[in-house]
Structure formats: C-alpha cells, structure tokens
Amino acid sequence: MSATTAAPVWTKMRPKQGALSRLFDWKPFLAFICLLPAAGLLMTFLTYPLGLGIYLAFTDTTIGRPGIWVGLENFIWLAEDPIFWNAVFYSVFYTGVATIGKFALGLWLALLLNQHLPMKSLLRAIILLPWIVPTVLSAIAFWWIYDPQFSIISYLFIEMGLRETNIDFINTAWPARWSLIAANIWRGIPFVAISLLAGLQTISPSLYEAALLDGASGWQRFRYITFPMLLPILAIVMTFSIIFTFTDFQLVYAITRGGPVNSTHLLATLAFQRGIPGGQLGEGAAIAVSMIPFLVFATLFSYFGLARRKWQQGEGND
Amino acid sequence: MTEAAAVSTEPKATNSSSAQPETMAWDSKSRRFVLLYLPMFCFLIILLFPFYWMTITAFKPNAELYNFAEHNPFWITSATLDHIRLLLFETAYPRWLMTTMLVAVCSTVLSLFASTLAAYAIQRLRFQGSQYVGLAIYLAYLVPPSILFIPLATMVFQLGLFDTPFALILTYPTFLIPFCTWLLIGYFKSIPFELEECALIDGATRVQILWQITLPLAVPGLISAGIFSFTLSWNEFIYALAFIQSSENKTVPVAILTELVTGDVYQWGALMAGSLLGSLPVAIFYSFFVDYYVSSLTGAVKE
C-alpha cells in the first residue's frame, strides 16, 4: 500500500525541474551568480577607486572642481616638500620600531601563554581586549594618559621620586613620536601574541622531547625548533602588521593629528589633511599613491614567506 | 621475546629519569614565578591599565579628576554618574550609537551574504581558475582603506551618497568581504565533500545543497565571520570621518573625537564615558563568542 503511494510522488517530483532550476544547476552559471555580489561590490568600491586614485594623483582635482591632467606635477611638488619627506621618514620609522616592539613582546607573551597557566582561556580572552575595542576610543584613553598636566604616568614617576616635573609626552616632536609608537605597540601585541600562540600549538611536542634527549638548552630549543617552525606564520602575520602599521591613520589622528608642527604625520594622515579638509584631492591622492611601492614590497615579502613554507613541508601547489 | 621487551623498556626508563631534573628545574616554584607569573602579570597590567583608567575617569567627579594632591588618582571616593548623564542627555550620543549599530549590522549582513556565496563558488564549485579568484580576494584584503578613501570620497559625492549611512554601508564591505570570504573558504574546506555527493545522488539541486546541507553545517563559520565583520565595522574610522559631515549621522568613534572635543578645555570625564560606552557593545558581543573568535582568528592565520 505504502509502496504504491510513494512511487507516484517520486515520478511527480522529476518533471518539476523547469528550465530555471536546470539553469541554476548548470555549474558555470551558478558560479557566475554566486560570485556576482562579491565581485560586483569589490570591483565598484575597491578596484575602480584604486585606479581612480592613481588617476587623481596625476590631476589637480580639488573638492567641487574636476581637475585636468598635470602629469607628474604633484609628485615634483611633493619631492620639494619637507613635510612630505618628514611623513615618509616617520612612517618608515614608526612601522620599523613598532613592528620590532610588537613582535618581540608578542612572541614573549605567546611563549608565556603556551606554558601551563591557570584560567588559560580567560587569560586569552582578556588579552585580546585591546585589539577588539575601537582603536580611536583606546587612543583617546592614551591621549588622556599622555595629558601634559594630569598624566597618571607623570604622577607615578613624581611620586616615586624619579622625576621632578611632569613628563612632556605629546607637545614636542621626539617624545610625541615615541608616545605614538608605544600606543601602537600596546594595541598590536594581542593580535601578534594570539596568532603566534596558534603557531606554537601546532609544533609537535616530540620535537622538544627529542631535543631534551640530545641535551639542548632552553635557548637552543627556541633557536633551532620554535623559531624555524614558527617562521611561516611569523611571515604572514608580519606582512599584515607591516601593511596596517604603515598605513595607520586612527591612532595618530586621534592623539596628535600630526602635530606638534607636523612632526608626527604619517603618510595617511598627511593625505587626509591635504585631501579632505584641505580640499586638494589630487595632492592627497598623490601622497596616498606614494604608499603603494611599500605595500607591494610587503606583499612580495609575504609571498616568498609562503613559498618557503611550501618548500619546507614538501607540499605540492594546492 | 621477553628480553626484547625488557631492552625496549630500558632506554625509556633512563630517558624519563634524565628528563626529570630538567623539568624539575623549570618547575621549581621561584624560577617559575620569575620567568612566568611575573612577566604575565606585567603584561596584564599594561594591557588592561588603559581600560581601568578609562572606567575610573568616567565615574570620577571633576573635583577628584583634576586634583591628584588630595585624592588618590587610582580610586574613586565619591563616584558620580554626571559624565554619563551629560553624554546621554545633553549630546546626540544615543543617536550616534543607533547610527553605528545600523551601519555595522547592514554592512555585516551584506558582506556575509556576498562572501558566503563567493566562498561556496570558489571552494565547492571548483570552476576553471577558481584559485586565481581566491588569490585576487586575498590581495583585495591587502589594499588598506588609507589608500582608497580619497577616490571613494569623490565617488560617494558623485553618487549622491555623501553624508548618508549608505555611503558607509556600501563601502565597508570592501574590507569585510575579503576577510569573510577567506575565513569561510577555510571553513567550507573542513566540511566533507561526501555529504554533498550523497545529496547530488539523491537528486538535490546545487541550490538545495547549499541551502540545506552546506550552510547549516557552516553555521559556526558564519557566526565567527559575522562577529569579525561587526567588530571591524564598529571600529572603522577613516571612511566614517571622510564621508560623513553632519553631526547626527556620525558614528560613535568619529563623533566622540570630533563632537565632544570642543575648544581648549577637554571634558575628560565625558570623553572617557563616551569611550567606555562605545567600547562596551563590541566587548560584550565579543565576550559571548570569544571561543569562536579566537579559534577562527588562529584558524585563519594557520591557513
């Protein structure tokens, strides 16, 4: 009885596949439809603006007036601008020092977290907080910590008798530069530490056991096992970190806005200042475009890091 | 036979005995304290201090805030809600919070939709050249907003979206989609192919497979992609600063920096209260899903 009723249901289902559903089952069409939203959005709001930005860098566009092609004039103008060269210098310096600081401290924190600790998952959750909270909001907290009159750090130093006067954090060039780097390192440590911790956990304990048998010291175990095994992840995380530190905007804009006397401008903040409030879109675009060579360099760095990893593990190209 | 077993166990025993002093030395209490707990404690203090300071400042009355001589700056003697009241009732803070929420939710939904389909196509449909599409999306993630905001500002202006939330909802996916797609490709990889093949044999169409088999299995991946997108769009600053002009359309991070900082006298109490309230939604949202977050963050890096 049940078999006879089931059979017609099955035959009824088949003809329901109309032309439309067959079209959706056709692989090339389905792939096209699936990629359409993502590709459309990325083409319109990423690829096109990237091209447009490069074009704008060669024009004298200002807000409200479409510009004309001026060739390399923007770049020639920038090459004679000491503020631009100062921004290039500080971008490189900021990226270099902050990356070294973030990775040294982040690796240390990752090694600590890899030990047996009580409440490990809670610790990991707390440590990621600086990375989760909006950068501008934590930057404002740093601004308050760096306040010339009511800085808590100055208070501590004076209470401990280490200094007589308040520390000048952000009102002269070099202290301001170092203060911004410190804030950047503070924000960057969690991401580096958690990513490297993931790398550390993939290293097989048997390698350490073998090294212990061979009588390797703690430093030797780190130098010849931990570090080489961590290198592939280190390369990727470092590329990301370098790219996003080099193009950083929020922290500097929130704490110093490029001041005092333009000494802490990064390329991104200078591009913003000239482009949006200043209205010189062409010049701003030229400053932004001059970041591209550095980014290409960082990406190639990542690519060769990845290539090396595949070679090490003997994997084919996937 | 028994002799061989004895021989094979012998070196094991010596191994463990020679390894013993090494681990003992590391586990000795004072050494462990100096090398492990003390640095860990310092890291925690430094990483958490700005939040502590933010919270303390938000609830301190001005008299205590600017007088370190008579009041211990690390504690509050008479807590006050004045700063929060000022923020909530005398500024447009609730409005900014709503705008930020709207923008974050809409752009998250939009990018989740687009990147789920894209990840499915790249990872499961396996058409010719799918790995190049994957690579292109990876490269798209490496293009930072600092390069794009000037041309995007001119586009937004020409499209008539300037100073509307739509400008942000449409531009945030440029950094959300690459990240989510990348994360979801990794997630789809972990779902066995056999399940889909079974469904194909049973006569399901590919759309049915995506909707009824793959997506339900990918829910944890979708959740972590959703949290990432939400926090990233909540934290976004440069587009919101460049594309929004009128006070009531600003997002929380931009509004606190541009609307609350007025003149030479900074209202530090209100500023810190605003920062605290602006950080709380992401922090709470994150704390619910912290395990998804950490595992997918580390998973994405491992890929």
ipTM for the whole complex: 0.82
pLDDT at B12 over 50: no
Q: Look-up: residue for tokens 């860098």?
A: A57
Say whether B53 and A195 touch across the interface (CB within 8 A).
Answer: no
| Distance of alpha carbon A152 from alpha carbon A150, whole angstroms | 6
- The one-character DSSP state at A226 is I
pLDDT value, residue B17: 39
Q: What is the pLDDT averaged over residues B82-88?
A: 84
Tell me the CB-side half-sphere exposure of residue A194, using CA atoms within 13 A.
Answer: 28
Q: What is the pLDDT averaged over residues B247-272?
A: 81
Q: How far is B72 from chain A (nearest CA, A)?
A: 10
| Distance of alpha carbon B213 from alpha carbon B227, whole angstroms | 23
Q: Could you count the other beta carbons within 10 Å of the beta carbon of residue B250?
A: 23
Tell whether A294 lies on the interface with B, counting CB pairs under 8 A: no
**B161, B48: one domain:** no
CATH number (domain holding residue B216):
1.10.3720.10
Q: Look-up: residue for tokens 């675009």?
A: A285
Q: For residue range A57-81, what is the model confidence (pLDDT) as tens digits?
A: 998 888 878 888 888 888 998 999 9
Residue B219 placed within a domain? yes
Which of A2-11, A200-209, B71-80 is predicted least confidently?
A: A2-11
Q: What is the pLDDT averaged over residues A289-310?
A: 75
Q: For residue range A77-119, what is the model confidence (pLDDT) as tens digits?
A: 899 999 999 999 999 999 999 999 999 999 999 999 888 888 8
Give the mutation candidate from B128, B150, B289 for the A interface (greatest A CB count, under 10 A).
B150
Residue B82 placed within a domain? no
Say whether A108 and B203 touch across the interface (CB within 8 A).
Answer: no
pLDDT at A209 over 80: yes
Tell whether A236 lies on the interface with B, counting CB pairs under 8 A: yes
**Shortest CA distance from B180: residue in chain A:** A38
Residue B65 placed within a domain? no
Residue pair B269/A144 in contact (Cβ under 8 Å)? The answer is no
pLDDT value, residue A305: 63
Q: What is the pLDDT averaged over residues B183-193?
A: 85
Helices (H), A128-263: 129-132, 135-145, 152-159, 173-201, 205-213, 218-221, 227-246, 250-255
**B169, B24: one domain:** no
Q: Which backbone phi and psi does B74 adopt, to 5 degrees?
A: -85, -5
Q: How far is A174 from chain B (nearest CA, A)?
A: 22
Instruction: From B17, B42, B58, give the residue that closes a domain.
Output: B58
Cα-to-chain-centroid distance, residue B110 = 17
Q: How far is B46 from chain A (nearest CA, A)?
A: 8
**B120, B266: one domain:** yes
pLDDT value, residue A48: 92
**B111, B22: one domain:** no
pLDDT at B78 over 80: no
The amino acid that residue A232 corresponds to is: P
Q: Look-up: residue for tokens 């070294």?
A: A100
Q: Which of residues 106-165 of A touch B (CB under 8 A)?
A: 108-109, 112, 115, 117, 121, 123-130, 132-138, 140-142, 144-145, 147, 150, 152, 155
Question: H or E stretch including B110?
Answer: helix B93-120
pLDDT value, residue B8: 39
Say whether A136 and B253 touch across the interface (CB within 8 A).
Answer: yes
Return the sign of the alpha-carbon dihedral for residues A13, A15, A18, A21.
Answer: positive
- The one-character DSSP state at B164 is S
Angle subtended by helix axes B93-120 and B82-90, to nearest 10: 80
Q: What is the pLDDT averaged over residues B231-240?
A: 90
Residue ranges per structural domain of chain A: 83-312
Residue pair A70/A59 in contact (Cβ under 8 Å)? The answer is yes
List C-alpha distances in Å: B158 to A37, A55, A56, B128: 22, 16, 15, 37
The amino acid that residue A289 corresponds to is: V
pLDDT value, residue A185: 95
Class of domain A83-312: mainly alpha
Q: Which backbone phi and psi does A65 adopt, to 5 degrees?
A: -140, 115
**B12, B96: one domain:** no
Q: Could you count the other beta carbons within 10 Å of the beta carbon of residue B134?
A: 17
Residue B111 placed within a domain? yes
Residue B13 placed within a domain? yes
pLDDT band at B103 (very low <50, low <70, confident <90, very high): very high
Residue B78 placed within a domain? no
| Distance of alpha carbon A128 from alpha carbon B44, whole angstroms | 11
To the nearest whole number, what is the mean pLDDT of chain B?
81
Tell whether A61 lies on the interface with B, counting CB pairs under 8 A: yes
Which of A1-15, A114-128, A292-306, B82-96 is predicted least confidently?
A: A1-15
pLDDT band at B158 (very low <50, low <70, confident <90, very high): confident
**B178, B287: one domain:** yes
Q: Which of residues 18-47 of A touch B (CB under 8 A)?
A: 21, 24-25, 27-28, 30-31, 33-39, 41-42, 45-46
Which of A137-141, B205-209, B247-251 is predicted least confidently?
A: B205-209
**B179, B286: one domain:** yes
Which of A205-209, A221-225, B65-69, B209-213 is predicted least confidently?
A: B65-69
pLDDT at A10 over 80: no
List C-alpha distances in Å: A267 to A79, A232, B67: 13, 29, 39
**B225, B154: one domain:** yes
Tally of structural domains, chain B:
2
**B116, B235: one domain:** yes
Partners of residue A59 on adjacent β-strands: A69
**B158, B42: one domain:** no
* B236: nearest Cα among B175, B289, B181: B175
pLDDT value, residue A309: 55
pLDDT value, residue A179: 92
pLDDT band at B77 (very low <50, low <70, confident <90, very high): confident
Domain that holds residue B20: 2-58
A101 contacts: CB under 8 Å, gap ≥ 6: A181, A185, A188
| Distance of alpha carbon B182 from alpha carbon B128, whole angstroms | 19
Residue B30 placed within a domain? yes
Residue B74 placed within a domain? no
